[in-house]
Structure 1
C-alpha cells in the first residue's frame, strides 16, 4: 500500500467521523460486534501511517460507585396552597411536618372580596330568574300570536346572557374557595358568609407554612406547601469521569436507610464548579422515610462490575457506528475489538472487553485504521 493510498484512506476516515459519508455506501455492523475484524497492514505501512501503540494495563473492575446526594421532592408531587381571595388569616390549622388528607381544613380567612363575590352571584341569580320568567311569558305570547318573533329572539338572547353571567359568578365563587354545597346553600338561604375555609387539595405532608395568623394576605399569596413523599427522589452528583458508567447502573442503594431505588434520569449538562453530572434516583421510602433536604451517600451498583477491566490511553478508544472500539496489534496488522467504556479521564480510559495485559493498542494514526475498518465492512 503506497503513502498516497494511506492519505486517501485518512481523508475517507475524516468523512466518516464528520458523518459526510453517504448512507448508501455504509454497510451495517456485523450481527455479532465481537466478530474478529482485522485490518492487514505491513510494518512499513504502519510506520508510514504514523501508527503508535501502548500496552494495555489491567485494573480492578468497578462494581459500585459511591456519590453524594440530596433528597428532594418530585416537582409533580409539590403543591402550594394559596389564599383564594384577599383577606385576613384568622387561623392556620396545620403545622410543619403534619400529615393531611385531601379536603382537610388548612386555614380560615375573613374576606371582604368573598362577600362581594357572593353579592354578585345573588344579583346574577336574580337577573337570570327574571330573564327566564320573561322568556317563559314571551314564548306563551308568541304561541298566541300576540308578539312578533323578533321580540322572542331578543328575549331568548337576554335569557342566555343572564344564564352565562350566573355561571361566571358561580365559577368566581369556586375560585374563591367555596364548595358546591356552600354555593347551593347560598342559592337557597341567600345568606352571605364572611369567612372562608381553605382545604388541602391533595394528601401529603406540610413542608412549610408561609402565612401567619392575623396577617393580611393578597389573593394568590402562598399559605402552606404540601408534598407527597412517596415516591421520593435523590439528586446525585456524579463526577464526569464516572458519568459513562451511569448507563450500566443496575440499582441505587442508600446505606443510611437501607433502601434500594432506580436511576430514572441522567443530566445532559455538567456543573461548572464541581464538574459533575446530576442524576436522579427514585425511591419508595416505606417505613424508613427520607426527608427532603437530607444529605445522603448513594452506592451505584454497576452491571457487569465484576468483569475484567483494562486501562488504556484515552486516545485509543474510538466511536464507530454506535460502538466503542480499540485497535489491537496482531502479527498481521490490527484487530478491531469492541469494548465497553466504564469511565474516562483526559489521559486514560477504563474499558471492558476481550483484551490481555500483554497486548498493545493503537494510540496514534487511528484515522488510517478507521478507514481500513470502513473498507472491510463495505465489502
Structure 2
C-alpha cells in the first residue's frame, strides 16, 4: 500500500510540473523574438580591420532634447469663414480690403440683385395671403359659433390658414437665405417697400484674408466673395520624419526661434506622405500667435521629452535605415550586434537616439556599409 501511494503521488507531482513548464513556455516570448529585434553579425578582428570599422563610446544625455522641424502656418478650420454671394447680381461696392480687421455684422459689400427683388415680392404676396386667410378664419369661427356654417367649412378654412402661414414662414426664411437681416425683413413687413440692393455683412469678427471680387463684377449665387478668419490661435503643421515620429507625442512643447510664438502638439497624423516619408504633427499656437502669418513656412524647435528609455549622443553616420527601422551596430565578442533605435534629433555632426545601451558599449561609426550589407543578408525586412 505505501508503494502504491508513493507512485500515485509521484505521478501527480510530474503532472503538475509538466503543466507548470507548459505555462511558462506559453508565457515566455518566442525564441525567434530576439532575432527579430537584435541581429548578431559575426566578424573576427581581421574582417573588421579589412572593412575599416571604427567604434566610439555612446555619450549619455538627459533632459529634453530640442530638434528642428519644418512646418507651415495655417488657420484652424473652425476659425475660417467663407462669405459667399447670397444671390446672383451686380456687386456695387466692396467695403473692405485684404488684411483688414472686421467686426461681426460690419458691412463688407453691397449687392444689387433682381433675385432679391423677386424674393421680396413673393414674401409680400405670401404676407397678404396669410392675412386674408387669417381674416377668413376669424369670420368662419364667428359664423360657426352662431351655427350658421357647418364644422366641415371651418376645418377647411383652418387648413387654408395653416397652409398660408407655412408659406409665409418659407418666404421669410428664403429672405434670410438671400442675406436680409431680421431688421430688414421686419421693415419690409411693416413698410411693404422693397429694397433693390443688399448689404452683405461679416458673419464673425476676424481679419479679411482674401477678397475674390471687385466692384462692378456680376456674381453667381454661392460664389465665394471673402475669406475671414480669426487669427488666434493658429496651427503649425510640422513634417516629422518617420525616424523621429515615435519621439513626438501629444503635449510636446514647440516654439518658433526668433519669435514669441509657442504651443504644443495637439494631433499626430496616422498616414505617411509618400514623397517625404513623414507624418504631420499639428501644433496649436496660442502664445505669440500674432507673430505668425497664415501660409508662412517656419522652422520650429521641438522639445522632445524623455520617455524612460536611455538617451545617447553619437557621431553623425552611426545610425542606418533598413527595413523601415533605424539601427546601430554595437560591438561584441563575436563581432557586432545590430540593434534597433529611435532617432530623436539629427544634425550635421551628431545624432541623438533612444536605445537600451550602456556607457561601456562601443558603437560602429565607420565601415557602416559592410555591416549594413551583412544586416541586409541576415534581416531582409
**Hey, what does 1:72 align to over in structure 2?**
74
How far apart are 1:79 and its partner, in Å? 0.6
**Hey, what does 1:119 align to over in structure 2?**
121
Q: Structure 1 residues 77, 145: CA separation in 2 closer, same or farther (over 3 Å shift)?
A: same
How far apart are 1:100 and its partner, in Å? 0.3
**Hey, what does 1:102 align to over in structure 2?**
104
Structure 2 SS opposite 1:269: coil
How far apart are 1:16 and its partner, in Å? 11
Match of 2:360 among 346, 352, 357: 357
Matched, 1:52 2:52: no
How far apart are 1:350 and its partner, in Å? 3.1
Q: Structure 1 residues 313, 187: CA separation in 2 closer, same or farther (over 3 Å shift)?
A: closer
Q: In the alignment, is the contact (CA less than 8 A) between 2:259 and 2:288 conserved in 1?
A: no
Q: Structure 1 residues 127, 15: CA separation in 2 closer, same or farther (over 3 Å shift)?
A: farther
Flag structure 1 segments of 5+ consecutive residues without an equivalent. 18-38, 40-45, 319-328, 330-338, 365-379
Q: Return 98-107 or 306-315, whichever deviates more.
A: 306-315
Q: In the alignment, is the contact (CA less than 8 A) between 1:268 and 1:277 conserved in 2?
A: yes
Q: In the alignment, is the contact (CA less than 8 A) between 2:212 and 2:225 conserved in 1?
A: yes
Equivalent positions of 1:196-345 (< 5 A) are 196-247=198-249, 250-286=252-288, 288-304=290-306, 308-309=311-312, 341-343=342-344
| Larger-Rg structure | 2
**Hey, what does 2:188 align to over in structure 1?**
186
Q: What is the count of residue pairs matched by the alignment?
A: 306
Q: Distance in 2 between matches of 1:197 and 1:344?
A: 55
Q: Distance in 1 between matches of 2:148 and 2:341?
A: 91
Q: Distance in 2 between matches of 1:146 and 1:200?
A: 56
**Hey, what does 1:332 align to over in structure 2?**
none
How far apart are 1:313 and its partner, in Å? 8.6
Q: Return 235-244 or 59-68, whichever deviates more.
A: 59-68
**Hey, what does 2:164 align to over in structure 1?**
162
How far apart are 1:260 and its partner, in Å? 1.5
Flag structure 2 segments of 5+ consecutive residues without an equivalent. 1-20, 43-54, 326-331, 333-339, 364-373, 375-381
Q: In the alignment, is the contact (CA less than 8 A) between 1:105 and 1:198 conserved in 2?
A: yes
Q: In the alignment, is the contact (CA less than 8 A) between 2:232 and 2:286 conserved in 1?
A: yes
Q: Distance in 2 between matches of 1:80 and 1:51?
A: 56
Q: Distance in 2 between matches of 1:300 and 1:123?
A: 64
Structure 1 SS opposite 2:283: strand
Q: Distance in 1 between matches of 2:226 and 2:354?
A: 51
How far apart are 1:56 and its partner, in Å? 10
| CA-based RMSD | 3.9
**Hey, what does 1:27 align to over in structure 2?**
none
Q: Distance in 1 between matches of 2:127 and 2:300?
A: 61
Deviations 1:190-229 (A, max 9, x none): 1010000000000101000011110000111111100110
Q: In the alignment, is the contact (CA less than 8 A) between 2:250 and 2:266 conserved in 1?
A: no
Q: In the alignment, is the contact (CA less than 8 A) between 2:206 and 2:229 conserved in 1?
A: yes
Structure 1 SS opposite 2:291: coil
Equivalent positions of 1:76-91 (< 5 A) are 76-91=78-93
